[in-house]
Amino acid sequence: HLGYHSSKQFTIFFLMTDPILTTHDLSIGYGSQKGDAKHIAQNLNLALHPGKLVCLLGPNGAGKSTLMRTISGLQPPMSGDVFIEGTSVEALDPGELAKRLSLVLTERVQTGNLSAQEIVTLGRTPYTNWMGKLTATDHEKINWAMQVTDTQRHANQRISQLSDGEKQKVMLARALAQDTNLILLDEPTAHLDLPHRVEMMHLLHQLAHQMNKAILLSTHELDLALQTADELWLMNPAQPFVAGIPEDLVLR
C-alpha cells in the first residue's frame, strides 16, 4: 500500500508494509488447558514489521523464552494464534516454516564434530534437493553469512573448539544463511563480552534495515536495546504487556 502526506513545506511518499509476524489473542504458558496449566501471558496481539529490530525485555521468569518458543512453533500456545506472512504457524509443515523463520536459542550447541562452516551450511537445508547438493546461490549465501558475522576464520574449526561467544556467532551465521524474512534470537549476546555485544546489536540493526528483515531478540541489555531497537516489547508478570518505540517508553 502506498501512503501519501503533503504540506506546504514538503511532500512525502512512504510504503506501509504488512507485518511479517502477527499474533491474535495469544496466551502462552505450560501444561494442558486443564487445571495444571500455568499461564504466563495472555491476550497478546503483536505485530512485527519488515525492516524493524524489536528487543524483548523483561526480568528472568517473565516468559521471554516461552514467547519465543511459542511464536516459532516449538511449543503450542495455550490459546490464540500465531501468523507468519498471513499463514498460521500450525498450518505450516516444517520445511515451509524453515523458509519463513530462522531461530537461534540460548541452549548450548550440540553438533558433534561438525565444523563451523558445516553448521552454517545447515541453514541451506530447506532449499537443497533430496541429495543435499548445494548450488552457487547456496554457497553465496553461506559465504555472505560468515563474512558479516566474522566467522570465516573459524570455518574449519570444530564447533567444540570454539568459545560460547564464537559458537553464538556461528549460530547467527546459520540463521542468516537460511535467508528468512523473520529471525528470532533468544539472548544472542548472552555469552559475549561488551565490545562484541555492541557489535552484535549494531549488526542486527543494520541487517534489519538494509536487508528488510524482521528481527526479534530477547535481551537483558537495556542500554544497548535503547540505542539500537526500533521498538521494545516489555514483559513483566505483574504488569500488562507493553510495546512501543524506545523514546516513548523512556518518557513514560
Grid coordinates in use for 34?
486443564
DSSP β-bridge partners for residue 101: 182
pTM, two decimal places: 0.86
Those residues whose C-beta lies under 8 Å from the C-beta of residue 207, and which sit 6 or more positions away, are: 148, 176, 183, 213, 215
What pLDDT score does 164 carry? 81
In the block, cell 511518499 appears at: 13
Nine-digit cell at 60?
528472568
Tell me the C-alpha to C-alpha distance, in Å, between residue 150 and each of 57, 67, 169, 171. Answer: 27, 29, 8, 12
Q: What is the pLDDT of residue 32?
A: 62
Q: What is the model's pLDDT at position 4?
A: 43
List, for the chain, all residue ranges whose pLDDT scores fall below the cut of 50: 1-16
pLDDT at residue 131, rounded to an integer:
74
